[in-house]
Protein backbone atom coordinates (compact mmCIF):
# COMPACT_ATOMS: atom_id res chain seq x y z
CA UNK A 1 0.00 0.00 0.00
CA UNK A 2 2.78 2.42 0.89
CA UNK A 3 4.53 1.71 -2.42
CA UNK A 4 1.31 2.39 -4.31
CA UNK A 5 0.81 5.68 -2.47
CA UNK A 6 4.38 6.72 -3.17
CA UNK A 7 3.99 5.76 -6.83
CA UNK A 8 0.75 7.77 -7.11
CA UNK A 9 2.39 10.74 -5.39
CA UNK A 10 5.39 10.56 -7.71
CA UNK A 11 3.19 10.37 -10.79
CA UNK A 12 1.12 13.31 -9.54
CA UNK A 13 4.23 15.43 -8.97
CA UNK A 14 5.59 14.55 -12.41
CA UNK A 15 2.30 15.47 -14.07
CA UNK A 16 2.13 18.78 -12.17
CA UNK A 17 5.73 19.60 -13.10
CA UNK A 18 5.01 18.86 -16.77
CA UNK A 19 1.91 21.06 -16.72
CA UNK A 20 3.89 23.86 -15.05
CA UNK A 21 6.67 23.59 -17.64
CA UNK A 22 4.18 23.65 -20.52
CA UNK A 23 2.62 26.81 -19.13
CA UNK A 24 5.99 28.44 -18.38
CA UNK A 25 7.55 27.94 -21.82
CA UNK A 26 5.45 30.60 -23.64
CA UNK A 27 6.04 33.09 -20.82
CA UNK A 28 9.77 32.41 -20.83
CA UNK A 29 9.96 32.89 -24.60
CA UNK A 30 7.99 36.13 -24.31
CA UNK A 31 10.27 37.56 -21.62
CA UNK A 32 13.48 36.48 -23.36
CA UNK A 33 12.45 37.83 -26.77
CA UNK A 34 11.28 41.11 -25.25
CA UNK A 35 14.92 42.09 -24.64
CA UNK A 36 16.35 40.74 -27.91
CA UNK A 37 16.76 42.60 -31.18
CA UNK A 38 14.46 42.22 -34.17
CA UNK A 39 17.21 40.67 -36.29
CA UNK A 40 18.10 38.12 -33.62
CA UNK A 41 14.48 37.00 -33.29
CA UNK A 42 14.09 36.66 -37.07
CA UNK A 43 17.19 34.44 -37.21
CA UNK A 44 16.23 32.24 -34.26
CA UNK A 45 12.86 32.44 -32.51
CA UNK A 46 13.91 30.77 -29.25
CA UNK A 47 17.31 31.70 -27.84
CA UNK A 48 18.92 33.55 -24.96
CA UNK A 49 19.65 37.22 -25.69
CA UNK A 50 23.23 38.03 -26.66
CA UNK A 51 22.61 41.68 -25.79
CA UNK A 52 19.93 43.12 -23.53
CA UNK A 53 17.77 45.71 -25.30
CA UNK A 54 15.82 47.47 -22.55
CA UNK A 55 14.89 50.17 -25.02
CA UNK A 56 12.33 47.76 -26.50
CA UNK A 57 10.06 48.46 -23.55
CA UNK A 58 10.41 52.22 -23.91
CA UNK A 59 9.56 52.03 -27.61
CA UNK A 60 6.60 49.71 -27.04
CA UNK A 61 5.31 51.86 -24.16
CA UNK A 62 5.41 55.07 -26.21
CA UNK A 63 4.19 53.61 -29.50
CA UNK A 64 1.42 51.66 -27.83
CA UNK A 65 0.16 54.55 -25.71
CA UNK A 66 0.14 52.32 -22.66
CA UNK A 67 -0.05 55.16 -20.14
CA UNK A 68 -3.62 55.99 -21.20
CA UNK A 69 -4.43 52.29 -21.40
CA UNK A 70 -3.21 51.65 -17.85
CA UNK A 71 -5.26 54.59 -16.57
CA UNK A 72 -8.39 53.29 -18.33
CA UNK A 73 -7.91 49.77 -17.03
CA UNK A 74 -7.30 50.92 -13.46
CA UNK A 75 -10.35 53.20 -13.40
CA UNK A 76 -12.67 50.69 -15.07
CA UNK A 77 -11.31 47.59 -13.32
CA UNK A 78 -11.24 48.96 -9.78
CA UNK A 79 -14.64 50.63 -10.13
CA UNK A 80 -16.27 47.49 -11.53
CA UNK A 81 -14.66 45.35 -8.83
CA UNK A 82 -15.96 47.66 -6.09
CA UNK A 83 -19.50 47.61 -7.52
CA UNK A 84 -19.51 43.83 -7.93
CA UNK A 85 -18.21 43.44 -4.39
CA UNK A 86 -20.95 45.64 -2.90
CA UNK A 87 -23.78 44.10 -4.94
CA UNK A 88 -22.79 40.46 -4.44
CA UNK A 89 -21.90 40.97 -0.77
CA UNK A 90 -25.16 42.63 0.26
CA UNK A 91 -27.29 40.46 -2.04
CA UNK A 92 -25.79 37.19 -0.82
CA UNK A 93 -26.06 38.36 2.79
CA UNK A 94 -29.73 39.24 2.38
CA UNK A 95 -30.59 35.96 0.66
CA UNK A 96 -28.65 33.71 3.03
CA UNK A 97 -28.93 35.51 6.37
CA UNK A 98 -32.32 37.22 6.29
CA UNK A 99 -35.77 35.68 6.35
CA UNK A 100 -37.05 37.80 3.46
CA UNK A 101 -39.75 36.93 0.90
CA UNK A 102 -38.71 36.13 -2.66
CA UNK A 103 -35.30 34.68 -1.76
CA UNK A 104 -35.54 31.92 -4.37
CA UNK A 105 -36.57 34.39 -7.07
CA UNK A 106 -33.65 36.71 -6.40
CA UNK A 107 -31.18 33.81 -6.20
CA UNK A 108 -32.42 32.60 -9.58
CA UNK A 109 -32.39 36.15 -10.93
CA UNK A 110 -28.71 36.67 -10.09
CA UNK A 111 -27.56 33.28 -11.35
CA UNK A 112 -29.60 33.44 -14.58
CA UNK A 113 -27.02 35.81 -16.01
CA UNK A 114 -24.60 32.90 -16.40
CA UNK A 115 -26.81 31.44 -19.14
CA UNK A 116 -26.75 34.60 -21.31
CA UNK A 117 -23.71 34.83 -23.64
CA UNK A 118 -22.17 38.22 -24.10
CA UNK A 119 -22.46 38.35 -27.87
CA UNK A 120 -26.25 37.84 -27.57
CA UNK A 121 -26.73 41.23 -25.91
CA UNK A 122 -23.91 43.26 -27.40
CA UNK A 123 -25.95 44.67 -30.33
CA UNK A 124 -28.81 45.80 -28.09
CA UNK A 125 -26.41 47.34 -25.61
CA UNK A 126 -24.56 49.17 -28.35
CA UNK A 127 -27.68 50.92 -29.67
CA UNK A 128 -28.88 51.71 -26.14
CA UNK A 129 -25.51 53.13 -25.09
CA UNK A 130 -25.21 55.06 -28.34
CA UNK A 131 -28.56 56.74 -27.66
CA UNK A 132 -27.65 57.78 -24.11
CA UNK A 133 -24.09 58.82 -24.96
CA UNK A 134 -22.15 56.03 -23.24
CA UNK A 135 -20.07 54.98 -26.26
CA UNK A 136 -16.38 55.77 -25.68
CA UNK A 137 -17.20 56.21 -22.01
CA UNK A 138 -15.47 54.60 -19.06
CA UNK A 139 -18.74 54.82 -17.13
CA UNK A 140 -20.42 52.71 -19.78
CA UNK A 141 -17.73 50.05 -19.54
CA UNK A 142 -17.96 50.05 -15.74
CA UNK A 143 -21.70 49.35 -16.05
CA UNK A 144 -21.14 46.53 -18.55
CA UNK A 145 -18.30 44.85 -16.66
CA UNK A 146 -20.15 45.12 -13.35
CA UNK A 147 -23.22 43.44 -14.86
CA UNK A 148 -21.40 40.57 -16.57
CA UNK A 149 -19.26 39.80 -13.50
CA UNK A 150 -22.06 39.78 -10.93
CA UNK A 151 -23.64 36.33 -11.65
CA UNK A 152 -20.56 34.14 -11.14
CA UNK A 153 -19.23 36.11 -8.20
CA UNK A 154 -22.66 36.14 -6.56
CA UNK A 155 -22.65 32.33 -6.57
CA UNK A 156 -19.13 32.44 -5.18
CA UNK A 157 -20.01 34.73 -2.26
CA UNK A 158 -23.36 32.99 -1.71
CA UNK A 159 -21.62 29.64 -1.22
CA UNK A 160 -19.25 31.22 1.31
CA UNK A 161 -22.04 32.83 3.33
CA UNK A 162 -23.95 29.55 3.43
CA UNK A 163 -20.93 27.91 5.02
CA UNK A 164 -20.58 30.47 7.79
CA UNK A 165 -21.70 29.47 11.32
CA UNK A 166 -25.25 30.62 12.00
CA UNK A 167 -24.43 30.96 15.70
CA UNK A 168 -22.52 34.18 14.97
CA UNK A 169 -25.61 35.83 13.50
CA UNK A 170 -27.82 34.63 16.33
CA UNK A 171 -25.38 35.91 18.95
CA UNK A 172 -25.17 39.31 17.23
CA UNK A 173 -28.97 39.63 17.11
CA UNK A 174 -29.27 38.66 20.78
CA UNK A 175 -26.78 41.41 21.64
CA UNK A 176 -29.01 43.88 19.81
CA UNK A 177 -26.85 44.41 16.71
CA UNK A 178 -28.55 45.53 13.52
CA UNK A 179 -28.08 43.59 10.30
CA UNK A 180 -25.70 46.27 9.02
CA UNK A 181 -23.64 46.03 12.21
CA UNK A 182 -23.62 42.26 11.98
CA UNK A 183 -22.41 42.50 8.39
CA UNK A 184 -19.70 45.02 9.25
CA UNK A 185 -18.36 43.54 12.49
CA UNK A 186 -18.96 39.78 12.12
CA UNK A 187 -19.32 38.86 8.46
CA UNK A 188 -16.90 41.27 6.81
CA UNK A 189 -13.76 40.28 8.79
CA UNK A 190 -14.43 36.59 8.08
CA UNK A 191 -15.19 37.28 4.43
CA UNK A 192 -12.00 39.22 3.64
CA UNK A 193 -10.39 36.32 1.72
CA UNK A 194 -13.49 35.75 -0.42
CA UNK A 195 -13.95 39.47 -1.08
CA UNK A 196 -10.28 39.85 -2.02
CA UNK A 197 -10.65 36.94 -4.42
CA UNK A 198 -13.76 38.49 -5.98
CA UNK A 199 -11.93 41.77 -6.54
CA UNK A 200 -9.01 39.93 -8.12
CA UNK A 201 -11.28 37.89 -10.41
CA UNK A 202 -13.20 40.95 -11.60
CA UNK A 203 -10.08 43.05 -12.12
CA UNK A 204 -8.36 40.30 -14.14
CA UNK A 205 -11.50 39.72 -16.21
CA UNK A 206 -11.70 43.43 -17.02
CA UNK A 207 -7.98 43.58 -17.85
CA UNK A 208 -8.21 40.66 -20.30
CA UNK A 209 -11.64 41.38 -21.83
CA UNK A 210 -11.67 42.26 -25.53
CA UNK A 211 -15.13 41.85 -27.11
CA UNK A 212 -17.03 44.59 -25.27
CA UNK A 213 -14.10 47.00 -25.09
CA UNK A 214 -13.44 46.65 -28.82
CA UNK A 215 -17.10 47.39 -29.54
CA UNK A 216 -17.74 50.27 -27.15
CA UNK A 217 -14.33 51.98 -26.93
CA UNK A 218 -13.42 53.49 -30.28
CA UNK A 219 -11.53 56.53 -28.98
CA UNK A 220 -7.81 55.93 -28.53
CA UNK A 221 -7.69 57.87 -25.24
CA UNK A 222 -10.04 55.52 -23.41
CA UNK A 223 -8.98 52.21 -24.95
CA UNK A 224 -7.84 49.45 -22.62
CA UNK A 225 -4.62 47.43 -22.55
CA UNK A 226 -6.05 44.53 -24.55
CA UNK A 227 -7.12 46.88 -27.35
CA UNK A 228 -3.82 48.73 -27.32
CA UNK A 229 -1.92 45.47 -27.69
CA UNK A 230 -4.21 44.30 -30.52
CA UNK A 231 -3.66 47.55 -32.43
CA UNK A 232 0.05 47.53 -31.65
CA UNK A 233 0.52 44.07 -33.18
CA UNK A 234 -1.27 45.15 -36.36
CA UNK A 235 0.82 48.29 -36.77
CA UNK A 236 4.20 46.78 -35.80
CA UNK A 237 4.07 43.31 -37.35
CA UNK A 238 7.57 43.79 -38.76
CA UNK A 239 9.10 44.45 -35.32
CA UNK A 240 8.75 41.22 -33.30
CA UNK A 241 10.96 42.48 -30.45
CA UNK A 242 8.62 45.41 -29.82
CA UNK A 243 5.60 43.10 -29.97
CA UNK A 244 7.10 40.84 -27.31
CA UNK A 245 7.93 43.89 -25.19
CA UNK A 246 4.34 45.13 -25.56
CA UNK A 247 3.10 41.68 -24.53
CA UNK A 248 5.20 41.85 -21.35
CA UNK A 249 3.85 45.33 -20.61
CA UNK A 250 0.31 44.00 -21.10
CA UNK A 251 0.55 40.93 -18.84
CA UNK A 252 3.10 42.02 -16.23
CA UNK A 253 0.63 43.77 -13.86
CA UNK A 254 -1.61 40.69 -13.75
CA UNK A 255 1.33 38.37 -13.10
CA UNK A 256 2.55 40.63 -10.29
CA UNK A 257 -0.93 40.76 -8.72
CA UNK A 258 -1.20 36.97 -8.78
CA UNK A 259 2.27 36.56 -7.27
CA UNK A 260 1.53 39.04 -4.47
CA UNK A 261 -1.99 37.74 -3.73
CA UNK A 262 -1.66 34.03 -4.46
CA UNK A 263 -2.12 33.00 -0.81
CA UNK A 264 -5.22 35.17 -0.43
CA UNK A 265 -6.56 33.94 -3.76
CA UNK A 266 -6.17 30.27 -2.84
CA UNK A 267 -7.68 30.87 0.60
CA UNK A 268 -10.67 32.61 -0.95
CA UNK A 269 -11.18 29.90 -3.57
CA UNK A 270 -11.23 27.16 -0.93
CA UNK A 271 -13.04 28.98 1.87
CA UNK A 272 -16.44 28.56 0.28
CA UNK A 273 -16.31 24.81 0.81
CA UNK A 274 -15.69 25.12 4.56
CA UNK A 275 -18.86 24.49 6.56
CA UNK A 276 -19.38 25.84 10.04
Sign of the C-alpha dihedral computed for residues 268, 272, 273 and 275 taken in this order: positive
At 73 the pLDDT is 95
Q: Please classify residue 150 by burial: count the beta carbons closer than 10 Å to its beta carbon, then call 0-12 exposed, 13-18 middle and 19+ buried.
A: buried
Q: Is the pLDDT confidence value at 60 over 90?
A: yes
Longest dimension (CA), the chain: 74
Structure confidence by residue, pLDDT tens digits, 8-23? 777 888 888 888 888 8
Structure confidence by residue, pLDDT tens digits, 174-194? 778 788 888 888 888 888 888
What is the C-alpha to C-alpha distance for residues 136 and 109, in angstroms, rounded to an integer? 29
Closest CA to 141 of 129, 128, 127, 153: 129
CB-facing half-sphere around the CA of 223: CA atoms within 13 A: 20
Average pLDDT in the chain: 87
Q: Is the pLDDT confidence value at 2 over 70?
A: no
Helix (H, G, I), strand (E, B) or coil at 237: coil
Phi-psi map region of 99: left, alpha, beta (phi>0 left; psi -120 to 50 alpha): beta
At 275 the pLDDT is 45
DSSP state of 274: -
Structure confidence by residue, pLDDT tens digits, 223-257? 999 999 999 998 998 899 999 999 999 999 998 88
The C-alpha torsion from 256 through 257 and 262 to 266, rounded to 10°, is -150
Amino acid sequence: MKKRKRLKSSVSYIVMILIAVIHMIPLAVMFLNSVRSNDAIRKRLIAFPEEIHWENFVTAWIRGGYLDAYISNLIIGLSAAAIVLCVTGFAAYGIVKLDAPGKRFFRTYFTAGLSIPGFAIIATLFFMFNRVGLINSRIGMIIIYSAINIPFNFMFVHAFFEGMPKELDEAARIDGASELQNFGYNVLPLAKPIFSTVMLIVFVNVWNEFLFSNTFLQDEKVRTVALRFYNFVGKNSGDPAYIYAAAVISVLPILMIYMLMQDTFVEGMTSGSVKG
